[in-house]
Chain A
Amino acid sequence: DIQMTQSPSSLSASVGDRVTITCRASQTISTSLNWYQKKPGKAPKVLIYDAFTLHSGVPSRFSGSGSGTDFTLTISSLQLEDFATYYCQQSYSTPWTFGQGTKVEIK
């Protein structure tokens, strides 16, 4: 199975900050990497697919980059509604796997 490791596990940031979350795959996955936002009591929402493609309706302050084994999700200017947990997920090969999540908290 492909293991996905996110860092950090949590971070504290202020509104307006630039936030970067990284995700590393245990083997190369090309650009088959998706990012989701999860808020308590809500279903996850896809933000980025294929490593860097912004899903319809997602604000442009979210961006993704990377290929191979190392990937990054960046929020250029953190907004109140962005405080949540973020997950990466590989769809390169089944069994598909998620990272352990990165919780973005208010500083």
Chain B
Amino acid sequence: QVTLKESGPVLVKPTETLTLTCTVSGFSLSNARMGVSWIRQPPGKALEWLAHIFSNDEKSYSTSLKSRLTISKDTSKSQVVLTMTNMDPVDTATYYCARSYYGDSLPYFDYWGQGTLVTVSS
């Protein structure tokens, strides 16, 4: 059974750095057909893709947030970590991690975590 679970602070102050952890089970982060993305949704707004880490450790980032994001993984712990620096109230959102699956073609997000709401406020 594939599961993903996000963990991290529920409240951060402006200018602080957010660190979120996605703990996965039911698959390996070294599986060539799979990767993990972070995606967020501010209240009342659309989904926004943030970052992705591939099985070979290659990374990709949102263009607008690239300077603030770092994604990494610890395969032995089955964890993917996202850090976002210089947090601002506009970063208040529910943050999801999701597995990308490469079937016969290009990937799609087939499993998602439950999401974690992060509020940025002093």
Contact = CB atoms under 8 A, between A and B. Distances in A.
Interface size class of B (residues with CB under 8 A): 20 to 34
Contact of B109 (A44, A50, A101): A44
Given A32-B105, A32-B106, A43-B96, A38 B60 contact: no
Nearest to A87: B47
B108 interface: yes
Interface in B32-53: 37, 39, 41, 46-49, 52
Contacts of B112: 43-45
B63 A91 contact: no
A1 B65 CA distance: 13
Given A89-B49, A96-B52, A34 B108 contact: yes
A44 B60 contact: no
Contacts of B26: none
- Of listed B41, B52, B103, B106, residue having the most chain A CB within 10 A: B106
A99 B46 CA distance: 8
Give chain B's interface secondary structure class.
strand
Interface in A42-88: 43-46, 49-50, 55, 87
Nearest to A55: B110
Nearest to B61: A95
24 contacts: A1-B63, A32-B106, A34-B108, A34-B109, A36-B47, A36-B109, A38-B47, A43-B114, A43-B115, A44-B112, A46-B108, A46-B109, A46-B110, A49-B103, A49-B105, A50-B105, A55-B110, A87-B46, A87-B47, A89-B47, A94-B60, A95-B63, A96-B37, A98-B39
Interface of B: 37, 39, 41, 46-49, 52, 60-63, 96, 98, 100, 103-110, 112-115
